[in-house]
């Protein structure tokens, strides 16, 4: 296939066949959805088959509801979510509804129950979701590779029953598997009326048909001719092209506007004054479409030559529009169509946390412990908004936190944010981009797995600095290259002779900034709670060694002791 615009997209050929077979009613259901535009890039292509149980007259409704919900509601979930999070959320919600319909029945075998097997093509990967005994295969050479395992339980008389399915239980455990895609891959989704009698050689022969609909019909007919007594449903999907490992956003393709002056208007935004300029961007205070104050950011001419930077640049606003929190910078109202490249967000009147720290220096002045706890608590609320959407801020530092005139704390600057769903769609587009080294978690440097606990580390360092005026590990974190280096880090206590920081609060700071991410808090709320009162794991009688509490004083004491010993020995020798 020539490399043209179409070949850089994900394209999949799909064929299907579904008939009652020898049964009076077809209780199977299947479907596929191939979206366009950004939904194709960020959500992908979805196929699903479901098979109702023969003992129920309403299981066909369950099969249709399960497939239809996935093909519609999956595309209504957040683009920031991974395929696994989005699809399992929809499947769990549908299962809960079906189970609720069945709860009043005396016999669950007469309820709305079905199997569900789904395949989502996204980026360069396939995502398999499975419940029950429908199956998904991938054709590898001349063999069918099973991608699912049947959920059936066998009785003592060798009879079996459906052990897991939609509508059977209040909670559902969905099997998940991710597979890499290659050009020409063929996948088969089938209910048991087909997969119990059709073999790999049949699939290979059927694929000689001029299109996949005919190939699927041929497989259904083979199953019927071999005596299948069940409904006959089969879907075929062939990967025709795969996207490049990049993400193209329409907004990033717009031209740069001429650098505006006060009074100029861009798409209805009236420029009030320039605010800041760097090597990467220019920021202006402007009047928004509703008369509100907004921040309008424009890339520099030099950065306009870097497509990767422009994608990252426009993603700042894309991310802001998908977060809902009074403690995270909001995107401003923008026109439906833009004439130029810029991003627009709310304008925050106030000062950065760095300025607040300069105005309240520690330890020269006793830090206000309640105020520090309040600021940390508000940052946690903002971070939760990121983590719920499977995002990592990755550049949490005092300069990227604003405190407005009402005392509300807001996380700003989303330029380093990692979005799991976007990374899944185009691997490497965002990546893990650590911010300022002093606040970057050690795992970024050691190559260990990065998670939401990496943001927790940055928050712990910020809280520590607000209370002490220094950093818990100094500049040592930036020198890490291996996990061994990481484990050598030694926390410097926030307490000294003049420190007002309680020992139990110091223990909370130490845990939040643990070099080993697995030893940090399991929830941000735990950190907040233990900044307010001693945690259950804290031992009030614990003695903090002087070397940990005040290394300088420790070595001064050791030196003084050694000097005293030398004097005594010298005196004895002279006598």
Q: Where are the domains of the chain?
A: 6-241, 250-346, 350-538
Taking 60 as the threshold, does the pLDDT of residue 505 lie above it? Answer: yes
β-pair partners for 176: 129
pLDDT at residue 245, as a whole number: 59
What residues have CB less than 8 Å from 213, skipping those under 6 apart?
Answer: 15, 16, 17
- Mean pLDDT of the 492-520 span: 90
Joined together, the tokens standing for residue 491 give 């926390």
Residue 409 host element (H or E): strand 409-411
Among 493, 498, 487, 508, which Cα is nearest to 546's? 493
pLDDT at residue 38, as a whole number: 84
Q: How many CB atoms lie within 10 A of CB 101?
A: 17
Mean pLDDT score of the chain, rounded to an integer? 89
Give the pairing type, strands 265-266 and 152-154.
unpaired
Taking 80 as the threshold, does the pLDDT of residue 299 lie above it? Answer: yes
β-pair partners for 50: 29
pLDDT at residue 5, as a whole number: 44
Q: How many CB atoms lie within 10 A of CB 483?
A: 16
What residues have CB less than 8 Å from 308, skipping those under 6 apart?
Answer: 246, 429
Q: What is the DSSP string of 186-249?
A: EEEEE-HHHHTT--HHHHHHHTTSSSHHHHHHHHHHHHHHTT--S-EEEEEEEEEE---S----
Q: Which CATH number fits domain 350-538: 3.30.1440.10, 2.60.40.10, 1.10.510.10, 3.40.5.90?
A: 1.10.510.10
105 compared with 84, residue with greater pLDDT: 84
State the pTM of this model. Answer: 0.82
DSSP state of 118: E
pLDDT at residue 144, as a whole number: 93
DSSP state of 395: -
Using alpha carbons, list the distances in angstroms from residue 507 to 242, 495, 532. Answer: 50, 10, 12
Q: Is the dihedral of CA 445, 451, 452, 456 positive or negative?
A: negative
- Mean pLDDT of the 13-20 span: 97
At residue 533's C-alpha, the angle toward residues 528 and 538, to 5°, is: 100
What residues have CB less than 8 Å from 379, skipping those under 6 apart?
Answer: 327, 396, 401, 409, 411, 459, 462
pLDDT at residue 306, as a whole number: 86
Instruction: Please give the radius of gyration of the chain, using alpha carbons only, rounded to the nearest integer.
Output: 30
**Helix pair 369-388, 452-468: axis angle to 10 deg:** 170
pLDDT at residue 550, as a whole number: 62
Question: What 3-state DSSP class applies to 99?
Answer: helix
- Give the position of tokens 């050479």: 141
The CATH superfamily holding the domain 6-241 is PPM-type phosphatase domain (3.60.40.10)
Tell me: the pLDDT tens digits for 70-84? Answer: 999 999 999 999 999
pLDDT at residue 430, as a whole number: 53
What is the distance of C-alpha 136 from the center of its chain? 26
The pLDDT > 90 percentage for the chain reads 69
Q: Do domains 6-241 and 350-538 have the same CATH topology?
A: no
Residue 518 host element (H or E): none
Tell me: the pLDDT tens digits for 347-372? Answer: 999 999 999 999 988 776 567 899 99
Q: Which CATH architecture has domain 250-346?
A: 2-Layer Sandwich (3.30)
Taking 80 as the threshold, does the pLDDT of residue 133 lie above it? Answer: yes
How far apart, in whole angstroms, are the C-alpha atoms of residue 290 and residue 263? 17
Among 453, 303, 337, which Cα is nearest to 386's? 453
């Amino acid at each position: 296939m020539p490399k043209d615009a179409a070949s850089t997209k994900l394209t999949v050929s799909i064929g299907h066949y579904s008939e009652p077979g020898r049964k009076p009613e077809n209780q199977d259901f299947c479907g596929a959805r191939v979206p366009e535009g950004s939904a194709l890039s960020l959500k992908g292509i979805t196929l699903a088959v479901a098979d109702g149980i023969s003992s129920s007259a309403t299981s066909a409704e369950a099969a249709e509801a399960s497939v239809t919900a996935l093909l519609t509601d999956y595309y209504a979930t957040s683009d920031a979510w991974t395929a696994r999070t989005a699809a399992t959320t929809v499947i769990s919600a549908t299962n809960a509804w079906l189970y609720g319909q069945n709860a009043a029945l005396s016999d669950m075998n007469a309820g709305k129950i079905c199997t569900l097997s789904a395949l989502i093509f996204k980026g360069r990967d396939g995502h398999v979701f499975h419940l029950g005994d429908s199956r998904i295969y991938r054709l590898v050479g001349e063999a069918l590779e099973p991608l699912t395992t049947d959920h059936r339980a066998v009785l003592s008389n060798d009879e079996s029953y459906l052990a897991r399915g939609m509508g059977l239980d209040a909670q559902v455990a969905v099997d998940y598997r991710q597979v890499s895609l290659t050009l020409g891959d063929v996948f088969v989704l089938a209910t048991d009326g087909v997969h119990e009698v059709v073999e790999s050689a049949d699939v290979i022969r059927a694929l000689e048909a001029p299109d996949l609909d005919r190939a699927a019909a041929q497989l259904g007919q083979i199953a019927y001719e071999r005596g299948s007594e069940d409904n006959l449903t089969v879907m075929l999907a062939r990967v025709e092209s795969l996207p490049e490992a990049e993400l193209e956003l329409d907004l990033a393709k717009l031209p740069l506007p001429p650098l505006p002056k006060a009074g100029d208007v861009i798409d209805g935004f009236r420029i009030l004054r320039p605010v800041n300029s760097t090597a990467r961007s220019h920021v202006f205070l402007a009047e928004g479409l509703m008369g509100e104050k907004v921040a309008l950011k424009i890339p520099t001419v030099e950065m306009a030559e870097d497509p990767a930077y422009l994608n990252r640049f426009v993603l700042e606003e894309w991310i802001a529009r998908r977060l809902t929190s009074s403690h995270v910078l909001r995107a401003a109202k923008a026109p439906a169509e833009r004439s130029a490249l810029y991003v627009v967000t709310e304008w925050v009147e106030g000062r950065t946390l760095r300025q607040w720290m300069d105005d309240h220096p520690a330890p020269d002045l006793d830090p206000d412990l309640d105020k520090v706890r309040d600021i940390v608590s508000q940052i946690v609320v903002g971070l939760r908004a990121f983590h719920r959407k499977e995002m990592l801020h990755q550049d949490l530092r005092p300069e990227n936190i604003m405190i407005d005139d009402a005392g509300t704390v807001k996380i700003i600057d989303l330029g380093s944010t990692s979005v799991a769903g976007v990374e899944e769609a185009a691997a490497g587009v965002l990546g893990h981009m650590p911010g300022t080294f002093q606040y970057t978690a050690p795992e970024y440097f050691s190559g260990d797995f990065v998670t939401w606990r990496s943001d927790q580390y940055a928050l712990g360092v910020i809280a520590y600095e607000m209370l002490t005026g220094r950093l818990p590990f100094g500049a040592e974190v930036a020198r890490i290259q291996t996990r061994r280096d990481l484990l050598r880090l030694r926390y410097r206590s926030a307490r000294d002779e003049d420190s007002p920081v309680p020992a139990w609060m110091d223990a909370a700071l130490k845990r939040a900034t643990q070099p080993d991410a697995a030893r940090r808090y399991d929830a941000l709320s735990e950190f907040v709670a233990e900044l307010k009162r001693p945690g259950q794991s804290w031992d009030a009688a614990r003695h903090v060694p002087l070397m940990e509490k005040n290394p300088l004083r420790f070595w001064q004491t050791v030196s003084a002791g050694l000097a005293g010993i030398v004097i005594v020995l010298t005196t004895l020798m002279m006598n």
